[in-house]
Amino acid sequence: MASPSDLYVGGDAVYILDGGNNRIIVTDPGFHNARAIDNLQLDGNAYQMKEPEGIFVTPENDIYVADTGNSQIIVLNDEGSILRVYQKPESSMFVGASSFVPVSMVVDRMGTIYVACKGNPNGAAMLSQAGEFLGYFGINKTPVNFQVVMERLWRSLLSDKQKEGVAK
C-alpha cells in the first residue's frame, strides 16, 4: 500500500482505501484473504480514481468513494462496476465553494449522503440518492454584529488598489 487514506469496517469485511495506488483493498477482520478492487468500470469503459480520500460501505455493500481528484463521489459494487456518479450539485443553494471536492461521506438509512468538501465552510452537504442538493448539516453560524456589517460595507466601496493597501 502506497498511502492508505481511509478505512471502513463493516460486517465481515474491512475496506482500506489505498489512495496512493487509487484502489480499494478488501480483507477479512483478521487482515487475511485480501483482494484489490482496482479495475473499475463505468458504462463498460475503464475508470481511474484520482487521489481518493474517503470510503463508506452501506449494509447492501454499495461502496461509496470520495474520488477527490476527480471532484466526484462514485458508488460501486464489490466487483468494481460503478453504479452511480455524484458530481457538483446543480443548485443555486449550493454555495460557499466554487468547486465540489469531496473528502469524505456517510450515508444514512434513508439514503441521504452527507459529504464533507474541501473549501466549503457551510457544513456537510446533504445529497439525495438522485444527487439533488438538500441543504447543509451542521452549519457553523457566524455572528453578525455592527462591526462586521460596517467592514463589509466599507470593503464593498473600496477599489481593488485600496483593498490591497488595507490588507498590508
Q: What is the mean pLDDT of each run of 10 residues along the chain (168 residues)?
A: 88 91 92 90 92 94 95 93 92 69 94 90 87 81 71 76 68
State residue 122's pLDDT score.
79
Residue entry with cell 496512493: 20
State residue 142's pLDDT score.
62
How remote is the C-alpha of 22 from its chain's centroid?
15
Q: Tell me, yes or no, if the pTM score tops 0.85.
A: no
3-state secondary structure of 155: helix
Return the closest-CA partner of residue 26 out of 80, 107, 75.
80
State residue 162's pLDDT score.
75
* Integer CA distances (angstroms), 163 to 158, 159, 160, in order: 6, 6, 5
CB-count burial class (<10 Å; 0-12, 13-18, 19+) for 155: exposed
In the chain the beta strands, taken as DSSP E runs, fall at: 4-10, 13-18, 23-27, 35-37, 40-42, 45-47, 54-57, 63-67, 72-76, 82-86, 102-107, 113-117, 124-127, 133-137
User: Whole-angstrom Cα distance, residue 81 to residue 92?
Assistant: 32
